């Protein structure tokens, strides 16, 4: 009997996240302004990424191909030939860069001048370090004759001294090329690639819930398998980005040292693990089969397991405290997302460490009401963010998709968040009138 295929309202949006632990893909269609998730699949047969870097394009290509085949079968379509792909990691950095122009006399601040200043900043960074590529430049603010403004100058504005301040997002040149190589070996077409710090896509997926907090200042902490990424915002400005090459994988490795297998250690972490012994309500004692331990088993208290976990968490979080302790008063809330956000007591642990109110990020408002609740879990935030960018890309560049050109991620993210902030501010003004 022939397999029945679904008739979709449109060409499905497909996002692939190349993570440290696995390759995960999600298919969705946009219905009444929301994403209706059609299905999710993943593959972890090979390690193709390590600390945010593609280590084997061949293995990555195989897993991309396999994951998309599984996803096509799940949603009952013939094939999914193309996808939006996202990748991030420790190689991504955010640096500040400034260009200054003295026009000798007061004259118009033209778009051509601003474009030249942007190009100058890009060349300045890449000349300084030939191994990196500037993936995007986001205007931070401008200064006209000593007067600061957040929005780009218009053609009616005049100035003698013009300064443009940018946040530059840079990464290793090899990162993009290896992702391209991976996709070419998968026999699938990459509709658009988004190279980004891990937390940025999560921020996009959470934007509807966090718009007020982002205006006032907030932190998003993405706790992945091999990296932990902190991104701090104030309005539409990215204040900080820091990547720590430690994640949930390292916690599991620590638990493994008691004499159990990696798979069993992962189960222990998920079922009994807690971010700190202080938050263990009942200190249960349990015995664990452990072939490498004397007697073939070990006895463990839940607080002992929590102590193993918290020791590694301290190593992950303490480097970030240098940022947060200096500016704790400027952040309204800390949002946590990623697979590590599912660890018991992680919210209490972070609030105790940072003294910032902690909340779990949710992208549920972007999903249709008939979407399975499981799709609201933090591990899917990055995929949802990629799908949202992909949707915006198709709307703004319907012809560019075939040529794999379009808006860089940070420009798209900035435009979308700016729209949200503008709408929010308009509503506030109307309410006060």
Rounded to two decimals, the pTM is 0.65
Both structure tokens of 165: 């301040």
Task: Decide if domain 93-172 falls under CATH 3.30.1490.110.
Answer: yes
pLDDT of residue 255: 94
Tell me the per-residue pLDDT of 224-235, one tens digit each, with 9 for 90 and over. Answer: 887 888 888 776
pLDDT of residue 431: 54
**Other CB atoms within 10 A of residue 357 CB:** 15
The closest alpha carbon to 358, from 383, 394, 329, 333, belongs to: 333
The closest alpha carbon to 303, from 321, 285, 289, 326, belongs to: 285
Give me the residues of the chain with pLDDT under 50, please.
1-5, 7-8, 198-199, 203, 205, 207-211, 400-425
**Distance of alpha carbon 118 from alpha carbon 165, whole angstroms:** 9
**Distance of alpha carbon 269 from alpha carbon 344, whole angstroms:** 9
pLDDT of residue 288: 81
Helical packing angle, 57-74 and 173-184, nearest 10°: 50
pLDDT of residue 216: 66
Task: Decide if domain 198-361 falls under CATH 3.30.420.40.
Answer: yes
Question: Which residues touch 31 (CB under 8 Å, ≥6 apart)?
Answer: 9, 368
- Partnered with residue 162 across adjacent β-strands are 101, 144
Domain with CATH 3.30.420.40 in the chain: 13-90+174-197+382-432, 198-361
**Other CB atoms within 10 A of residue 3 CB:** 8
pLDDT of residue 40: 93
The closest alpha carbon to 370, from 28, 8, 1, belongs to: 28
Tell me the per-residue pLDDT of 133-167, one tens digit each, with 9 for 90 and over. Answer: 786 677 778 889 988 887 788 878 888 898 888 87
- Partnered with residue 219 across adjacent β-strands are 232, 334
pLDDT of residue 187: 65
Domain with CATH 3.30.1490.110 in the chain: 93-172
Query: Is the CB of residue 304 less than 8 Å from the CB of residue 257?
Result: no
pLDDT of residue 52: 58
Query: Terminus-to-terminus CA distance in the chain, angstroms?
Result: 65
Tell me the per-residue pLDDT of 374-415, one tens digit each, with 9 for 90 and over. Answer: 888 877 887 888 888 888 778 776 654 444 443 343 444 444
pLDDT of residue 237: 65
The closest alpha carbon to 308, from 288, 331, 330, 333, belongs to: 288
pLDDT of residue 95: 77
- Partnered with residue 16 across adjacent β-strands are 25, 85
CATH number of 13-90+174-197+382-432: 3.30.420.40
Per-residue DSSP letter, 11: P
pLDDT of residue 294: 74
């Amino acid at each position: 009997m022939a397999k029945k295929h679904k008739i979709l309202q449109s060409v499905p949006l497909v996002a692939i996240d190349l993570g440290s632990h696995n390759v995960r893909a999600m298919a969705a269609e946009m219905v009444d302004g929301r994403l209706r998730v059609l299905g999710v699949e993943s593959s972890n047969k090979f390690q193709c990424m390590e600390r945010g870097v593609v280590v084997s394009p061949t293995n990555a290509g195989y897993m991309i191909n396999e994951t998309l085949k599984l996803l096509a079968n799940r949603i009952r379509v013939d094939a999914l030939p193309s996808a939006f792909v996202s990748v991030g990691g420790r190689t991504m950095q955010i640096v500040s860069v400034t260009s200054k122009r003295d026009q000798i006399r007061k004259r118009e601040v033209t778009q051509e001048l601003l474009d030249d200043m942007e190009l100058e900043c890009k060349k300045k960074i890449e000349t300084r370090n030939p191994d990196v590529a500037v993936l995007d430049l986001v205007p931070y603010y401008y200064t006209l004759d000593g007067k600061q403004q957040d929005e780009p100058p218009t053609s009616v504005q005049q100035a003698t001294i013009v300064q443009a301040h940018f946040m530059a997002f840079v990464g290793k040149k090899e990162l993009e090329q290896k992702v391209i190589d991976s996709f070419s070996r998968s026999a699938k077409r990459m509709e658009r690639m988004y190279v980004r710090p891990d937390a940025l896509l999560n921020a996009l997926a959470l934007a509807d819930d966090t718009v007020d907090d982002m205006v006032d200042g907030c932190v998003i902490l993405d706790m992945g398998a091999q990296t932990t990424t902190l991104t701090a915002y104030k309005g539409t400005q990215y204040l900080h980005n820091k990547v720590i090459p430690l994640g949930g994988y390292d916690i599991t490795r620590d638990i493994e040292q008691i004499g159990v297998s990696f798979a069993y250690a992962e189960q222990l972490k998920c079922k009994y693990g807690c971010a700190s012994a202080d938050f263990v309500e009942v200190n249960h004692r349990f015995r664990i089969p452990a072939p490498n331990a004397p007697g073939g088993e070990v006895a463990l208290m839940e607080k002992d397991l929590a102590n193993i976990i918290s020791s590694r968490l301290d190593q992950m979080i303490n480097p970030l405290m240098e940022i947060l302790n200096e500016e704790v008063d400027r952040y309204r809330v800390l949002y946590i997302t990623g697979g590590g956000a599912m660890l018991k007591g992680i919210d209490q642990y972070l609030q105790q460490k940072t003294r910032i109110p902690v909340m779990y990020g949710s992208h549920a408002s972007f999903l249709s009401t008939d979407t399975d609740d499981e799709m609201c879990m933090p591990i899917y935030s990055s995929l949802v963010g990629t799908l949202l960018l992909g949707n915006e890309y198709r709307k703004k560049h319907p012809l560019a998709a075939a040529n794999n050109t379009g808006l860089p991620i940070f420009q798209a993210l900035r435009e979308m968040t700016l729209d949200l902030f503008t709408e929010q501010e308009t509503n506030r003004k109307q309410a006060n009138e």
